[in-house]
Amino acid sequence: MQFFHQYANFGAWNLTGRKLSLLIGKSESYVKKILATDHDPSITVMIKIADALRISLGFLLYGTDESPELEMFAREFVKLSSAQKRAVKAVMDTMLETSGEN
C-alpha cells in the first residue's frame, strides 16, 4: 500500500480519519495506525477503504487502475474460506517457484 501511505490525505476525498473509520468499520486509532506506520491492513480492509474512497483497489495500492484483474481477484479471494485461501496461496507459491526455474 505504498501509494496509500504516500498520498493518504483524506482531505482530497473530504474525509477525516474518523469518518473513514466509520465507513470501514474500524476504530479511528486503527486508521491512524495504518497511516502513521507501514502497517498494511488485510485485503478485506483494503477493499473497504477503496470502496469508501470510491477508487479501485489498484489505485489505492499503486496509484493506477492498470490491473482490473487484481481488483477482481482480491474481491473474489476475500470470499473464500481460510482453507481455500491457503490452497490458493500454495498454488501461487508453486507457480512462482516454477516460473523462477525457467
Per-residue model confidence (pLDDT) at position 43: 87
Q: What is the pLDDT of residue 8?
A: 56
pLDDT value, residue 60: 82
Q: What is the pLDDT of residue 1?
A: 52
pTM: 0.69
Cα 38 to Cα 30: distance, rounded to the nearest angstrom = 12
Residues 6+ apart with CB under 8 A from 18: 28
Domain boundaries 2-101, CATH class? mainly alpha
Residue 81: which region, alpha, beta or left (left: phi > 0; alpha: psi -120 to 50)?
A: beta
Q: Block means of pLDDT (10 residues each) for the chain, length 102 residues?
A: 54 74 91 78 88 85 78 90 94 87 56
d(CA 6, CA 35): 9
Is residue 9 a contact partner of residue 69, using CB atoms and an 8 Å limit? no
pLDDT of residue 38: 67
